[in-house]
Structures are given as structure tokens and as C-alpha cells.
Amino acid sequence: MYNILICDDDKDIVSALDIYLTAEGYQTFSAYDGRQALKVVEEQDIHLILMDVMMPNLDGIRATAKLREKCNVPIILLTAKSEDADKVLGLNIGADDYVTKPFNPMEVMARVKSQLRRYTTLGGRGGALPEEEANLLKNGGIALDDAAKTVTVDGEQVNLTPLEFNILRLLLQRPGQVFSTAQIYEQVWNDPAYGSENTVAVHIRHLREKIEIDPANPRYIKVVWGLGYKMEKS
């Protein structure tokens, strides 16, 4: 059973989401501001968080930033249509996805299932290689261990969110191959790639900040203008 934290200062929204999530077999926990959310995560084994952006005491953006200092559980932001800047900021600091209010509960459920599937499996890959070799992807100073879910750059471990890990793994599996933003979104998010360009760009930028010495002049993740992104062979 997966434990899901619902954090929103609107108790009606928390109650509605609780009904749908419970019906799907999830265990839910509730919080009504960012501080309460942090406390729940410290006390419970949480597998996914639905986080409102605009809340008293500690808003969803700052709460997400604090959570990313200690854990990589998927975080889906609940945002209003007028909060486009907050959506981008939230993705920049480590949120995995967002749903715009008013939302369709079925859309929320689909996104929850998709994020949990990625978080728990990280899309493990098969093949005929020996297990240890199949699990280890290297390019230049980057080493990704798919079994341990760790990444090191020049021997130093870096902490990636599940989505960042999956993007990096996809690019490392086929160095030199150009992936369009639609291809990256469909393979990493497991959703149709409608309007995905900005979402992918934000996560690529955040990934570069963690693995590149000079993110503005990347050594590894290159943009191929008009086509997409590739992992430069090194």
C-alpha cells in the first residue's frame, strides 16, 4: 500500500482527494500548510505528495525546496491557472509534475499512478548483459548505477529526483542519439507529449546544474537546435 500526503489549505479539496485516493486503495495523510507537510514526512513513510502552491505559514514552493533537501519522493503541485510562474519555479526546485485547478480527479489519479510507477521501478531496463554491467551506465565522468539508483560525477555523488534520474538514464543508454522533447516526455513521464516542451526544458536545466561544471556550456547534455537533446559521447 502506498502512502500519499495531501497538502492544501482548502479542506474541501483535501477531503475530495482523500475520497478518490482511498477508493483506489491508497493510504492518505493530510496537511493544511507546508510546515504540517514537513512534519508528516518526518513521521510517516510517504511515497508521494500532492502539494498546493498557495498556502499560509509555508507555501508549497518553499516546502518543496525543503523536502528536496532530504528526500526524492514524487511531488505533484496543485496550482491555479494564474500561477504559471510558480509552476516553472516549482519544477526548477524539484517538483515532478503539476495539476491545474480546477482539476479533473481522474487526471489527478492518472498522474499519481504514473509518478508512483516511476518512483518505485525507475523503469528498470533489461538485456543480455551481466547484471552488474547492465545496471552501470558510464560516459566520461558520469556513472549511473541503475540498481543502486545512484549517480556520481567525477567520483562525487549527486542527488537527483526520480525524473532527473530517468532522463539521465535515457540519454546515457544511447549516447550520441538525439531525443526530441516529445520522445523524452513520453518515455520518462509515460504520458502523451502535449505541451511538454517547457516541462522537459526545465528538468534538463535542473539536471545540468547538478552534473555539469558549467551548465551554461554543458559538456554532456547538448541541445540540438530544432531537434532536441543528446548525451555527447565522451
CATH number at residue 57: 3.40.50.2300
Q: What is the pLDDT of residues 145-199, one digit of tens each?
A: 988 889 999 989 999 999 999 999 999 988 888 999 988 998 888 887 777 788 9
Kindly state the cell numbers that stand for 50.
500532492
Within this chain, do residues 113 and 222 fall inside the same structural domain, yes or no? no
Q: Is residue 126 part of a domain?
A: no
Region of 216 please: left (phi>0), alpha (psi -120 to 50) or beta. Answer: alpha
Of the residues 96, 121, 146, the one at which a domain ends: 121
- The whole-number pLDDT of residue 223 equals 93
The answer to whether residues 90 and 195 belong to one domain is: no
Task: Say whether both 139 and 187 belong to one domain.
Answer: yes
List the grid coordinates of 21: 485516493
Minimal CA–CA distance to 197: which of 186, 208, 206? 186
What's the total number of domains in the chain?
Answer: 2
What domain range is 159 assigned to? 131-231
| Confidence at residue 191, expressed as pLDDT on a 0 to 100 scale | 80
**Nearby residues of 70 by Cβ (< 8 Å), 6 or more positions away:** none
Q: What is the dihedral of CA 124, 125, 129, 130, to 10 degrees?
A: 10
Same domain, 142 and 84: no
Domain stop point among 121, 154, 169: 121
Residues 6+ apart with CB under 8 A from 156: none
**Looking at the structure, do residues 105 and 215 belong to the same domain, yes or no?**
no
Low-confidence ranges of the chain (pLDDT < 70): 83, 121-134
Same domain, 8 and 94: yes
State whether residue 180 is helix, strand or coil: coil
* 28 close to 2: Cβ distance less than 8 angstroms: no
Which residues have a Cβ under 8 Å from the Cβ of 189 and sit 6 or more positions away?
97, 114, 118, 163, 196, 199
- Are residue 49 and residue 115 in the same domain, yes or no? yes
Question: Same domain for 105 and 10?
Answer: yes
Same structural domain, 14 and 115: yes
CA distance 123 to 162: 10
**C-alpha grid cell, residue 24:** 483506489
Instruction: Establish if 113 belongs to a structural domain.
Output: yes
Q: Based on the domain organization, do 7 and 113 belong to the same domain?
A: yes
CB 74 within 8 A of CB 119: yes
16 and 117 part of one domain = yes
